[in-house]
Each structure stands twice: as structure tokens, then as C-alpha cells.
Structure 1
Amino acid sequence: MTKVKKKIETIKKTSTRTNWEALKAELKKNDSFKSSHDEGPSSSVHLNKKNEAKRIKPFKGFTNSTHKSKKLNVTSKDIWFDDVDVGDIVDAEDDLNEKKSPSNKLVKTNAFAGLTKVIAMDCEMVGVGEGGRESVLARVSLVNQFGKCIYDKFVKAREEVTDYRTFVSGVRPSDLTNAEDFQIVQKEVAVILQGRILVGHALWNDMKVLFLDHPKKCIRDTAKYKPFKTMTAGRSPSLRLLSSKILGVPIQRGEHSSVQDAQAAMRLYTMHKREWETEKSKVKLSKKAKKKRNANTALGLAKTA
């Protein structure tokens, strides 16, 4: 028996009494986990009406209070145990699923599918101008902290495309025929990112084609994270290398997927979140201390003058 299976069995053995009948009554009372148990940010992103239903859907589900990001789908075959944290069972089952299917490493199964405090973004570009050397936005994808895609749109080019770069971008002329206008996508993305931590790889390229800015303190770029750069002697590592070596997930084997790239960047961040945020806090405190020292020095000089 694997460690994961033992974990599940240990959790289930902590109680010998079930309250399955009580659970079924609760399900009926709450109309099968519907709107009365909606979970998610209090302020939703308002897109234009015709696109809102397509991309960002409200999350509906019954969630455990100590695991707000978990969505539990219960069937008649499930058993509910007293005094057992449902999140522990879900975590153990997710670990088991991940072992069975390595592709699940980028997406947390049974997780919250709406907006989260941390968002990962990746864009695909096409070429315009002579030789297609200038890049413009063609597709933008956003995923939440569990790897669930919350936004994915092709973007209409504002000038003639001279190189679709399909072998890398995965973008074809047909993808842009009925694509969304740039201004609409730009506004929608800006609203989603506002007040959130943004994760990605070489994000300066994505922000450039979107003509957007984001607070430096709210950016987590896997191309700039120092521990990752040690793998390439201080140079910025490719996302493909990081995903292969750290996550064990091969990506970008041919045409790129902005959704998958965003998922890989997010997984790299969440895997190293504790160390990453600790380092950010140290840098922040160091800058404050330096600023205070400079202020005291200036004050001292003013008094002696």
C-alpha cells in the first residue's frame, strides 16, 4: 500500500460512525450545493456582457471552512466521517491522482475555478511590419493559483500580420478572424490583475504588448527568481527548462500554449512560495532600514551644518 493510500486509510479510520443520512439531508436542504454556498472574491470582474459568460464563470460549490479553495463533489458512493477534515481527504486523493497522471501536476484537481489573489499570465505574439520582426499581442491566457484557466482570448491585430510564428505561437490566421478587439482585452485583463499578485515568465514581454503596468512588489517572475537562475549560471532560465527540471513536466515541445505556460509558471511559484515570499519580506525590510538610515544621516548632517 502506497503512502498516499495509507494516508487516506488513516484519515478514514479516525471515526467509525458516519453521518451519511445527515449529509444527504444537508445536500437536499442546500439544493445540491448551489447558489447559497457560492464561494469566491466579493467583487467579481465585470466584462462586457457578450463575453462575460464565455470566460469567467462564477464558482458554485459547498466548501469546507478550513479549505476554502476546495470544491467537494459528493456522490452516493462517498462516505462522510465525523471529526475528519474533508480537506485532508481531498489533499490525499489529489496526491494519488497526481501520481497516476503526471499531467495533473500543473492543475489542482477538485480546486476552486474562479479568481484568486494570485494570477498567472502568459501571452502569445505574432509579427508585424517588415519581416514580422515587431511583436504584437495575439492571445492572452490567465490561470488562478490552482492552474485553472479563468481567461483565454485571441486578440485581433491592429495592423497587418506578416508572420504568424505558428511553429512557436500556435496562432493561425483563422484564430484571429473573429478575435476580440485589443482595447477590450486590455481593459478586461487590467481589471482582473488589479490588486492581485501576478505570476509569469519574462513578464516584461507580456506587459509590453499589452501596454500595461503592474506594481513591482506584486510581480513574481520565474525568469528573475535567483534560485532558479543558479541553474543557468546566473542567466534567466527558459520556462521549458524550469518545467522539465523542477516540475518534471515537458512543455513547449513544438507550438506553445499560453494556458500551459501560465500553468507551469504558477506551479513553479506555488511550489516555492514560502521561500519566495520570505525573501521578498527580507528585501522589503532591508529597504526600509536603509531608507531610515539615510534619513537619520541626512538629519544629522543638517544639525551639524
Structure 2
Amino acid sequence: MIMEQDSKRSKAVSRGLLSNHRYLSKKVMLLNALGNAKARKKLQQRKRVSERKVGDAQDTNADKEVNILSSVTACTDIWEVDSGFCSEVSPPTSGRSSPSPSAMAVVALDCEMVGTGPGGRCNEVARCSIVDYHGDVLYDKYIKPCQPVINLRTRWSGIQRHHLRNATPFTEAREEIIHILEGKVVVGHSIYNDFEALDVLHPCHMVRDTCTTRLLGRLAGVQKRRFVSLRVLAHKLLNRTIQADRKGHCSVEDARAALDLYKLVEDEWEHELRDDRAPEKPSFASSNHFMQDQYWPNNICPDATH
């Protein structure tokens, strides 16, 4: 009896252990399934986030490309307006000059400087003059420098103290000058010194500096690579005496001299600029012989042997 009871008790314990084992196994499987589902869900979320980032990056790149194309188009339009001719005829790789400009589009500029800063060694504009193609004055004003004047340089500039008492403030004068020069071909002698003092950036293809062109030096019989003063060029080529007054230079007189020097070589100068910038057009006549059968692959020629 006792043995039968022990046997029954052991069988019941075994059944309980087995059921517990099954229960625990199912629970483990359920937990694994839940864990895998969560892992898959996280993985999908990460995938969606990465795809969204990639899409945003592509949209950003597309926007950048659109902006770049818009900027290039805008620059091209500005270049065509400034230069006075279309980029289809003259490519933007040259980017400098136009055909011979009309009289309405040419002005000449000259500035007189005074010394400011330490030792009066800084150049600041105290007078600026602009004349049109016919020499008529478009602008001629005394300009008040931004810093205190240390050296008037009257012997060269012609500026005296009383000229600056009611002079136009520099910022105001600069805006007026930029407005006049806009869209114009600007002639001058060592004109980049004037642009620097005025803090003006004028398009290079619309500047004619009589100091640097070889044409005037050649006419004046001056050695190559030598910069000649406006006074010497005016004397030799225009038979005109300028900058001779001990009271100083006159910016109107200097602007007219630079303009007349430009007119002496205007056609040749503009033609030279066009030649420097004109693209070489492909000669289709010279390339016609490449259409002959001998230059085509064998599998294209109708008489080719297979």
C-alpha cells in the first residue's frame, strides 16, 4: 500500500513538473516572440527614419541645385545687360568686353586725393569728376574724407582747406558716383587707384585704363612694359599741356585728357578686346571628311563584311 501511494505521489509530482515545464516553455516562447516583434518594430522605425533623412537630403540637394541654376542664370542676365551683348554670341568664359560701346555708354573719371591716417600716407578722395563721351561734365564735387586730413597735397591735388568745409560726405558721394557709373564703360588713367579710394568695384570688362594699354605706349614711342604718365601721353599724342599749374591738378582736365586718349585708339582697342574674347567657331567644312565610310565602325557601314 505504501509503495503504491509513493508511486502515485511521484507520478503526480512528475505531471506537475511537466506541466510547469510546458508552461515555462510557452512563456519563454511568448516572450521571445514579443521581443522579436519589438525588435522588428524598432528596426522598421529606424528604417523609416533613415529613409526620411535620405529623402530630406535629396530634397535639400535638389533645392541647392535649383538655387545654383537660378544664380547662374541671374549672373548671366546681369553680365549680358552690363556688357551690352548676348552671351550666345560671346561666351561668358571671356566675361570681359563688349563690341565698341556707344557714346552714351562711355564716361571718363578722375579723382584727386588727400592724405589721411598716420603720416598722411592713406589716400582718400577729396574731389571726383566724371565727364561724358563728349567731354561734358556729369559730376564734379568736392568730397569730405572719412578721416581727418593730415596732408592736403595741394601741389598735386589742388585741394585747399576751404574746399572741404561744405564738401559732400563720402558715403553720399559714393552712392551718387556708383549710380552714374552703372552700366557704363569707364575710362581713366590708373583708374584702379581711383576705384580703390572710392571703394567701388566696377566690372573689369567695362574698364578702359589708358595707363596699361599697349596701343597708346606704341603711339607715343614708349618702351614696352613701362607705364607712362597722363601728362606725358597728353603732351606727345594730344599736343596738350596738363598738370602744369602750380596750384595743382584739375580732375576735370585729367578726365577729358584720358577720354581723348581713349578716342585715339578706340576702334583698335575695342577690336583687340573682341578678338581676345571671341571664341573660335568650329569649321564644319573642314570636318566633313570625317563623315566618310572609312571613319565609321565596320558594323555600321552597309558594305561591311560579316
* TM-score, structure 1 as length reference: 0.55
Residue equivalent to 1:214: 202
- The aligned amino acid for 1:228 is L
Q: Structure 2 matches for 1:35-74, cutoff 5 A?
A: none
Q: Quick one: which of 189, 200, 222 aligns to 1:232?
A: 222
Q: Quick one: which of 239, 253, 275 aligns to 2:268?
A: 275
Query: What secondary structure is seen at the aligned counterpart in 2 of 1:152?
Result: strand
Alpha carbons 2:116, 2:151 under 8 Å: kept: yes
Q: Structure 2 matches for 1:159-170, cutoff 5 A?
A: 159-170=147-158
1:11-47 CA distances to partner (integer Å, 9 max, x unpaired)? Answer: xxxxxxxxxxxxxxxxxxxxxxxxxxxxxxxxxxxxx
Question: How many angstroms apart in 2 are the aligned matches of 1:166 and 1:249?
Answer: 22
Question: How many angstroms apart in 2 are the aligned matches of 1:183 and 1:222?
Answer: 27
Question: How many angstroms apart in 1 are the aligned matches of 2:213 and 2:193?
Answer: 16
Q: 1:135: how far off?
A: 0.7
Question: How many angstroms apart in 2 are the aligned matches of 1:123 and 1:284?
Answer: 30
Alpha carbons 1:239, 1:265 under 8 Å: kept: yes
Q: 1:289: how far off?
A: 4.1
Unmatched 5+ stretches in structure 2: 1-101, 282-306
Q: 1:131: how far off?
A: 1.9
Q: Quick one: which of 168, 181, 185 aligns to 1:180?
A: 168
- The aligned amino acid for 2:234 is S
Residue equivalent to 1:149: 137
Larger radius of gyration: 2
Residue equivalent to 1:245: 236
Alpha carbons 1:145, 1:270 under 8 Å: kept: no
Question: How many angstroms apart in 1 are the aligned matches of 2:187 and 2:240?
Answer: 18
* TM-score, structure 2 as length reference: 0.55
Alpha carbons 2:215, 2:265 under 8 Å: kept: no
Q: Which has the larger share of helix?
A: 2
1:223-248 CA distances to partner (integer Å, 9 max, x unpaired)? Answer: 01112234432211100011000000
Matched, 1:265 2:258: yes
1:102-135 CA distances to partner (integer Å, 9 max, x unpaired)? Answer: xxxxxxxxxxxxx931000000000012221111
Unmatched 5+ stretches in structure 1: 1-68, 70-114, 291-305
Residue equivalent to 2:117: 129
Residue equivalent to 1:28: none
- The aligned amino acid for 2:178 is A
Query: What secondary structure is seen at the aligned counterpart in 1 of 2:215?
Result: helix
Identity %: 39
Question: How many angstroms apart in 2 are the aligned matches of 1:117 and 1:227?
Answer: 22
1:121-172 CA distances to partner (integer Å, 9 max, x unpaired)? Answer: 0000000122211111100000000111110000011111000000000000
Question: How many angstroms apart in 1 are the aligned matches of 2:215 and 2:257?
Answer: 17
How many residue pairs get aligned? The number is 175
Tell me the C-alpha RMSD between the 2 structures: 1.7
Query: What secondary structure is seen at the aligned counterpart in 2 of 1:204?
Result: helix
1:201-231 CA distances to partner (integer Å, 9 max, x unpaired)? Answer: 0011000000001111111110011122344
Question: How many angstroms apart in 1 are the aligned matches of 2:277 and 2:207?
Answer: 14
Question: How many angstroms apart in 2 are the aligned matches of 1:130 and 1:279?
Answer: 43
Query: What secondary structure is seen at the aligned counterpart in 2 of 1:143?
Result: strand
Question: How many angstroms apart in 2 are the aligned matches of 1:125 and 1:247?
Answer: 25
